[in-house]
Amino acid sequence: MMGTILLASTAVLLRSASAAFRHAQVAAPLRVLGCLLGAGSAWILACGADAWSPVWAAAALGMICGLLELRFDSPMWRRAVDAGGVLLIGFASPATSPGPLLVAAVFLAAVGLATDRLAALLTGPAARRIVWASAGLAAVAVPVGWTQMKPELNLLGQVFHEDPLAWLHFSLMRKTLGERVDLETGAVAWLERPSGPQTSVGAVLFHGNTWEASRQKSACVLRRSLLGAGYVVLSVDHPGYGASPAPGADASLEAWDPGPTGLAAIRAIRRVAGVQRVVVIGHSMGCGDVLRVLAQGESIQAAILFGAGLRPAASWNDYWSERFRRDRRLDDSFPAERVRQIDARWYRSEDMLAALASARVPGTPLTFAQFGFEHRDNERLRDVYYAMLPEPKRVWVLENATHYFNTLNLGEIVVGDTRVTAAIRDRLADLHSELKDRAVAVQASVGVSDRDRLRTNRTVKEGFEK
């Protein structure tokens, strides 16, 4: 709700500034700037209605409408630009529901009508003062927004250095969750279904090491890509994160095992109507959850590890101890030695990889996704991690993406790169086709000799590795 209010308020402010620029007796370039601000408000409301459209779409719309408005300015024209801008930007985004877009279009048309009439009453010096006040507010808002996002620009700054126009491909999304699912372990997961055509594949998503859990920015991007590819998605809040409670202060070491929660999530997704195959996806810390599930011998059709890495035992220090408590909302009195014991028992990637290798379970096809802009330790040790993964496996490199998928936090809003989500969505769609072909191949092998069945399975495996 807060994200929706923030987007709507920003859109109203932009549309008000647009009205001031367009009604004041100012030079043509400033009137075009007013149209750009109006297009920006349409873009923000379209994003608030779950469109995932890049900012260049708003810039193009604003420039075209601004040039046309210099010749065809009228109240009806402005209403058409307001409502039509939301619809054009929204429907240009894949799988956008028409209902919320129509509401956003009507809302902006009403806001435009009110602000235009108010601006028309202000003429001469008063109108010009409002124009300069709007410019002043923008001059203040930009540095404030920058200070909010600057701490997260350490990796993304490298993307902008390589491609200074990358920001034109960014969009906005609200942090939302689906239907709450209470797992038998006491943890909480969130179920979402695609708005478009649904495949028969269910995806269990394990988030990274951030207290926001399934609402963190990276999880939001992955969920959008999965839903865009037609997957049913179950996002799991790791024990102690998000809505999932942590074990009590006096709980045994075994109670801190996150493995049962992962298995409970697999059982939960299989109970969803229409789900016939299951894939597991982990990001950063969530890759450990994927390894635990696979080591238990669950029948999983595919697994994807995003940004997996090793953290040597020698790197454990006060920072990790404090972060363990903070992310799980534990009291500062929780003993540091107990934290170290929990980490050593359940969170060492080397131990999880060794357990998977020794489990001798049927190999689940693994995709090891690497980022072009990665944390130094992950980049240094990811080849070692990949070598420890069992076959069949393959590498997928997201060359122009950071460990956080080119995302930024802005309160209840995620700022993200539409190119990255499109690349992940397309790869997930390809994975669905592979799973479908593999299922057909397995069905075709029923009733044939063992030698022919072995040949069929080898063909399927070779196709995955290619």
Residues 347-386 pLDDT 10s: 988 889 988 888 766 678 999 999 999 988 888 889 999 9
Token digits of residue 431 = 């994975």
Token digits of residue 354 = 């060794």
DSSP symbols for 267-307? HHHHTSTT--EEEEEEETTHHHHHHHHHHTT---SEEEEES
Residues 114-147 pLDDT 10s: 888 877 776 656 655 665 666 566 556 555 555 5
Give residue 461's pLDDT band: very low, low, confident or very high (50, 70, 90): very low
Whole-number CA gyration radius for the chain:
25
Strands (E), 126-255: 170-174, 179-182, 188-192, 201-206, 232-236
Q: Which residue has the higher pLDDT, 402 or 35?
A: 402
Percent of the chain with pLDDT over 70: 83
The position carrying tokens 């972060």 is 323
Burial of 387 (0-12, 13-18, 19+ CB in 10 A): exposed
Q: Is the peptide bond before 390 cis (omega within 30 degrees of 0)?
A: no
CATH number of 175-465: 3.40.50.1820
pTM of the model as a whole: 0.87
Per-residue H/E/C for 377-393: HHHHHHHHHHHHCCCCE
Q: Where are the domains of the chain?
A: 2-163, 175-465
Helix (H, G, I), strand (E, B) or coil at 54: coil
Which of 279-288, 347-356, 455-464 is modeled with the greatest confidence? 279-288
Counts of helices then strands in the chain (DSSP H, E): 16, 11
Which range has the worst mean pLDDT, 98-107, 202-211, 309-318, 329-338? 309-318
Percent of the chain with pLDDT over 90: 44
Token digits of residue 437 = 């072909």
In this prediction, residue 78 carries a pLDDT of 79
